[in-house]
Amino acid sequence: MSRKTLTAAFPYTLPVLMGYASIGIVFGWMMAAIGYAPGWAAAMSVLIYAGSGQYLAVDLLANATPLADVVFLTLIINFRHLVYGLSMLEKFRGMGWRKLYMIFSLTDETYALLAGVQPPEGVDEKGFYFSIAVLDHLYWIGGSVVGAVAGSLITINTEGIDFAMTALFIVIAVEQWRSGRQHLPALLGSGVTLACLLWLGPDNGRFLIPALVLMVAFLLILRPSLEHREEAGEA
Amino acid sequence: MTPLQAAAAIAVMAAVTFLTRVLPFLLFGRSGNPPRVVLYLGRYLPPAVIAMLIVYCFRQVNFQAAANWAPALIAGAAVAALHVWKRNHMLSIVGGTLLYMLLVQTVF
């Protein structure tokens, strides 16, 4: 990462700056609302670095969730990262020590940038990708700290700010709904989970475990039909 | 939660999050050929999981009193409508959250 690659990468990261500043500020503010000093929010953004994962983390910390449930919920919310990694196998090849950081910092937004942009002519490709990853991470940390400090200084009634997590998931669902041709997985996910919630009740989110198992089972059963429809749609 | 328990939870979340990111590289970094069923689930499971998490967020909703369902469902519908309309992440999230805060603090 040099001054040149940073300067080249910066304009491409501006949309992420806008997004991370706002979502990061809300995250920091939520942490302040549940009584954690700004250092906690900063540490989480440095070490965990996952937007929706950290929103969920606030909920888990606020409810003193047992560690086993923390592991399970963090796993399922971050499952989609597996897909990102699969499509970056080639791109990260030969990046040496920077590869580990590239993998660590592969968030939704950084993935979208890396998948979509090419370095300008004459700019080192690996350094350009690394610069994007570092800048995005800094925006996220910066937003979290600003929100956490503001939230601890400004004492307004923050009851209900935890709804930001729900809002974020709804936004992601709307994006997925509009970009995918297949809506069955989303309908399946909500239907199966609702059924398990009615069956087991809301305590500790335990209903999520059978819901996840059933979802995977149904998706495997439906695989021939879904893949067939996908091929028909592409033809 | 004591600070130690919170630190443990954060450490666990950091480790698990990194695991989900590094796993494809550990499993398929050399061969580069993930099985088709993995690719299939990688494609279709995420929308199902997000739908599941939305249900999780609404898990405390019940219809015994208006305050138990109205703020969450009204604000949730507002987020979806705002996002379909303007497609601006910040507007949808901040607008929906402010509406929810207004509803739980002053109306219900």
Q: pLDDT band for position B21 (50/70/90)?
A: very high
User: Which among B22, B50, B52 is the nearest to A103, CB-wise?
Assistant: B22
Q: B89 and A171 in contact by Cβ < 8 A?
A: yes
Q: Are A26 and B43 within 8 A, CB to CB?
A: no
pLDDT digits (tens, 9 = 90+) for A74-101: 998 888 787 788 878 888 988 988 999 9
Complex ipTM, two decimals?
0.89
Measured between CA atoms, how close is A118 to chain B, in angstroms? 22
Residues 6+ apart with CB under 8 A from A96: none
Average pLDDT over residues A33-59: 95
Domain extent listing, chain B = 53-108
B20 pLDDT above the threshold of 90? yes
Q: Closest by alpha carbon to B23, among B40, B38, B1, B4?
A: B38
Q: Tell me the whole-structure pTM to 2 decimals.
A: 0.82
pLDDT of A151 over the 70 cut: yes
> How open is the CA angle A133-A134-A135, to the nearest 5 degrees?
95
Band the pLDDT of A235: cuts 50, 70, 90.
very low
pLDDT at residue A207 is higher than 50? yes
User: How many other C-beta atoms are found inside a 10 Å radius of the C-beta of residue B35?
Assistant: 10
The mean predicted confidence, pLDDT, of chain A is 89
Q: Output the pLDDT for position B32.
A: 64
pLDDT(B76) > 90: yes
